[in-house]
């Protein structure tokens, strides 16, 4: 081959920007609807705060975050459909023809999808909280309990990661959904049947000492449900599953 200047590969920043733009564009309509709801709810909350004032004897805690775990889990389950909406099954088409390491590219898409999901979940939580605030609390008395935020976010993340494992492995979204439901059911059964307390406590201690080391908040045991604590085990397992699927299925060489 004669010497000639080869075309450069894209930079990591350019790829990340392109992927972020793509994922947000793909969800644009959903995000606009969601943003409108958030604006209306916050508007109502402010209006209520001004007009009525807080309810006497409000508890000072935001009451509905945990209740959002189920809808956010559903959102997490469906989210990969949007993240991968534009690409051919198994990405053996346009996505794979681009000059980027496929594992890195796929991980980036999954990661950016997760970041957007977390952002959207936080918005939903904020909107839901805001709409209830006037009746329970003065803004200045607001206390944020990490455990309350942790559970819905962890639920959404776990659902997203489980579906993403199958999205990375298989071509049909129907198959992703069926396998994800089977996976969730399996986790539920294992979680109920197995005695995970020892394992959960071990992970919990590690996480807590890490929190302490970085000066983060310490979560009181009693404020986290059993499921919330088990996520400390399930999330790394699901993440390992996703990583294995990525390494195996999207191997470049």
- List residues binding other proteins (CB under 8 A): 1-2, 4, 6-11, 14-15, 17-18, 21-22, 25-26, 85-88, 92-102, 252-253
Q: Cα torsion for 168, 174, 175, 181, to the nearest 10°? A: 100
| Displacement of CA 76 from its chain's centroid (Å) | 6
Q: How far is the CB of 120 from other proteins (least distance, A)?
A: 20
Q: How far is the CB of 154 from other proteins (least distance, A)?
A: 32
Q: How far apart are CA 9 and CA 32, in angstroms?
A: 34
Between 48 and 173, name the residue whose CB sits nearer to other proteins. Answer: 173
Between 11 and 209, name the residue whose CB sits nearer to other proteins. Answer: 11
Between 45 and 108, name the residue whose CB sits nearer to other proteins. Answer: 108
Q: How far apart are CA 109 and CA 46, in angstroms?
A: 37
Between 18 and 42, name the residue whose CB sits nearer to other proteins. Answer: 18
Q: How far apart are CA 125 and CA 67, in angstroms?
A: 10
Q: How far is the CB of 14 from other proteins (least distance, A)?
A: 5
Q: How far is the CB of 168 from other proteins (least distance, A)?
A: 16
Say if CB 64 and CB 211 are below 8 A apart: no
Between 51 and 253, name the residue whose CB sits nearer to other proteins. Answer: 253
Q: How far apart are CA 8 and CA 187, in angstroms?
A: 45
Q: How far is the CB of 4 from other proteins (least distance, A)?
A: 6
Q: Give, in order, the Cα–Cα distances in Å from 77 to each of 22, 24, 57, 92, 130.
A: 20, 17, 38, 23, 25
Between 20 and 64, name the residue whose CB sits nearer to other proteins. Answer: 20
* Tokens representing residue 252 in the block: 């470049």
Q: Give, in order, the Cα–Cα distances in Å from 247 to each of 67, 104, 154, 169, 242.
A: 36, 10, 24, 10, 9
Q: How far is the CB of 10 from other proteins (least distance, A)?
A: 5
């Amino acid at each position: 081959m004669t010497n000639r200047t080869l075309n450069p590969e894209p930079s990591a920043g350019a790829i990340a920007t392109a992927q972020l733009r793509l994922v947000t564009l793909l969800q644009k309509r959903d995000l606009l609807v969601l943003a409108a709801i958030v604006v209306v709810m916050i508007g109502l909350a402010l209006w209520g705060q001004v007009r009525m004032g807080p309810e006497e004897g409000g508890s000072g805690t935001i009451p509905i975050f945990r209740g959002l775990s189920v809808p956010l889990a559903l959102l997490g389950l469906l989210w990969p459909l949007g993240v991968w909406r534009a690409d051919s099954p198994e990405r053996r088409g346009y996505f794979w023809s681009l000059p980027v390491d496929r594992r890195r590219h796929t991980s980036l898409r999954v990661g950016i999808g997760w970041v957007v999901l977390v952002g959207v979940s936080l918005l939903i939580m904020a909107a839901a909280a805001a709409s209830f605030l006037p009746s329970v609390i003065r803004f200045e008395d607001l206390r944020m309990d990490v455990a309350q935020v942790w559970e819905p976010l962890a639920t959404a993340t776990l659902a997203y990661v489980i579906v993403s494992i199958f999205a990375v492995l298989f071509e049909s979204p129907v198959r992703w959904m069926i396998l994800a439901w089977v996976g969730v059911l399996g986790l539920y059964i294992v979680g109920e049947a197995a005695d995970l307390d020892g394992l959960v406590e071990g992970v919990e201690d590690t996480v807590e000492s890490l929190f302490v080391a970085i000066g983060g908040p310490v979560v009181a045991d009693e404020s986290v449900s059993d499921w919330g604590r088990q996520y400390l085990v399930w999330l790394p397992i699901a993440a390992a599953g996703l990583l294995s699927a990525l390494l195996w299925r999207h191997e470049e060489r």
